[in-house]
Structure formats: structure tokens, C-alpha cells
Amino acid sequence: MDKGTLYIVSTPIGNLQDITLRALECLNSSDLILAEDTRVAKKLLSHHNINKKCYSLNSYNEQNKLEDIKARLEEGNTISLISDAGTPLICDPGAHLVSHLSKENFSVIPIPGVSSISCALSMSGYNLSEFFFGGFLPSKNSSKVACLSKSKTNQIASLFFETPHRIIHTLELLVNEFDNPTIFIGKEMTKLHENYLKDKTSIVLDWFKEDPKRTMGEFVIMIFWKKENINPHNLLINKLNSLISSKDLIDISTRYLNTPKNSVYEIIKSNKKD
């Protein structure tokens, strides 16, 4: 008997009509469907008149269900994996399952479709040749600052997911700690109350504060970091400053990097302020 196949099926991020014909055909022909939340999945399946067995697969039970899923595939079953919204495995469960099945030569096939990331990129007006995606921003303030600082060093547009109860704090952080960059926000994309904003963070923040109800929903934030001309020698000096004494740093920098003493002093002084 031939082994069955696991299909990774993309589903709508809001509007239930945003699903491909191939995805519908795949779900209809599946012996069972693995869903992040079966309640969410059943709304989609019911809307498209799909009556199939639906089992939960989430971050809590993924490892425990692995052997059962393997056994079903060994029996030749066709299984579809879906998330609550969009393309599975992007900040969603399933990576452990897919990785394990691929290593054991089970057939795993993607059924492409909607993604909130590609939707935001297409609406932003940004050059799509490169971008950084960081998933959900951390809830802890220090971790969030570190995450945003790391993305800023890339000097390319950076995308993050953010939740309703943290959106105001994140925008305030961008205004006060990160020089008020230009941002794009996709709010409730493809849904009834979808909205798109692109402006300086302070202006977007004011828009949210005008009406507390505007913070309700799901958000994709795209930050347009300003490109800066950074001397690579200065970056190296900055890094060495935490590893060696100021005297040695000045000696190395002036001798091997041809950096003026005054520039090295400024970097040391700046780090002491931080």
C-alpha cells in the first residue's frame, strides 16, 4: 500500500471567499483535516460545504499526535493541515510534524494561498526585493526594544505581527525610542473593518488614540527603517569597546584602522551614555 500525503493548505486570513479552487479540492478529498482550532476550521468548512473529520493540532498536542498521524499516513490516508488563518507554519503549529515526516520520506505538499505578509507587502508601496519578518513582537518591553533594535540594523523594511492590547505601546516605543519612523499598518486585512495606514508613527499613533475601538483587531506592522551611511570601522570599534580597554581600543583603531583618535573618543563617550 502506498503511503498517504500530508497537504499544507493555505486558508483565508479573513474573507472566507479568499480560498483557491485547489485548496477546496484538497480539503474535499482529505480523509481528515488537522486544524489549529477546530471551531475556527469548522466555520470555514461549513461555509464551503465541506464535511470532513477535523482534529486539533496545536503547540500543546503536536508531539503527542505525531505517531497517530504517521500511522494514518502509513495506511494511505490523505491528510490536510490548516491554521486558523493564512499559510500554515508561519507563527503557527506544525513545524515539528512537517520536519519529522519529511525526514522519514513521507510526502508533504504545500497548497499555496493567502498570507497576511504578502498582503501587507503588496499594499505598502515598498520595493519588494528584500524585507525582514520578525513574527510577533515580544510582550516584555526590554525584549521588544532588543527585537526592534536588531531589525533596525538590517536597514530594510521590517514586518511584525502585533496584538490589540499592545499596539499603542509599540507605536509609542517607535516614536520615543526609534526616531519616529515611517510605518505601514494593515488592520483586519480582508475583513469587514479593514484599514490601511502609512505615515510617520506619531501620526498613526494619534489616529489610534482618537478612538479606542480602533485598537481592536489584528495588525501587521511594517517599519521603514531609514538607511544610514555607517562606517564599518566604526561598527568594529563599537563592538571592541565592550571587550577591551579604552587605551587598547584607541591604540588598535588608530594603528590598524586609520581612525582618528577624536572619532574613537566619540564612540567610547557615546557607549558610556548608553
CATH no., domain 117-224 = 3.30.950.10
pLDDT of residue 233: 56
pLDDT, mean over the chain: 89
Question: For residue range 215-228, what is the model confidence (pLDDT) as tens digits?
Answer: 999 999 999 998 76
Residue ranges of domains in the chain? 5-114, 117-224, 232-273
Distance, CA of 215 to CA of 188 (rounded, Å) = 10
Least confident of 82-86, 93-97, 129-133: 129-133
Distance, CA of 155 to CA of 224 (rounded, Å) = 8
Q: How would you classify the pairing of strands 132-136 and 158-162?
A: parallel
pTM of the model: 0.78
Distance, CA of 97 to CA of 104 (rounded, Å) = 11
Closest CA to 196 of 47, 210, 188, 173: 188
Distance, CA of 24 to CA of 243 (rounded, Å) = 58
Question: For residue range 173-211, what is the model confidence (pLDDT) as tens digits?
Answer: 999 999 999 999 999 999 999 999 999 999 999 999 999
Bigger pLDDT: 243 vs 140: 140
CATH topology of domain 5-114: Cobalt-precorrin-4 Transmethylase; domain 1 (3.40.1010)
